[in-house]
Amino acid sequence: MPSSKPALIARHWLLTWTTYGTWLPGDKRGFVSPVCTPAGNLTIHNQPGTPCDRNMPALMRSAQARMKGKPIFLRHRQAETLLSQFQETANYRGWQLLAAAIMRAHIHLLVGVPGDPEPETLLRDFKAYGSRALNRQWSKPKSGTWWTESGSRRKKQGPAILAAVRYVAQQKNPLLVWIHPNWQ
């Protein structure tokens, strides 16, 4: 049970993840997944400020061939369900949801947290509880999941927090955007 006394927010995270099958390894838009080096080793090009891999058609075809279902594209009613669940999850965990943008194929959440929990825990909880809420109303997808594996976790501090709120608020073609009333 969450504590009735709000904890001080110590960290802010911008979380981003995609829906299943909508942004595969090899995508021409760029991707962050293991790729083979010329020496035959696996590497991931995911350091901030450096280019990621992109446009590898053979890798993309391979990823498409391994898919267990069709790509998932969210609808407006599903976005409403997700926002409600994200707010409930944050409240229960003692986190502060500052901004949310739900698009057809990806989600951005800006969340403040007390202490220093692992950002993967935040991402896992939002995705898991979001999946449960969607499964209750629309049943589990054939692929077994609504989401791609993992997602982006970027720490935000100082002025970068306001910049992240603006970034989330200015998403193109959102199904739904929500900004905490204290930030509007």
Q: Within 10 A of 79 (CB to CB), how many other CB atoms are there?
A: 21
C-alpha span between 106 and 92 (Å, rounded): 23
Read off the pLDDT of residues 113-128 as tens digits, 9 standing for 90 and up: 999 889 999 999 999 9
pTM of the complete model? 0.86
Domain boundaries, the chain: 11-21+71-183, 22-66
C-alpha span between 27 and 45 (Å, rounded): 14
The CATH number given to 11-21+71-183 is 3.30.70.1290
Residue bearing the bigger pLDDT, 2 or 109: 109
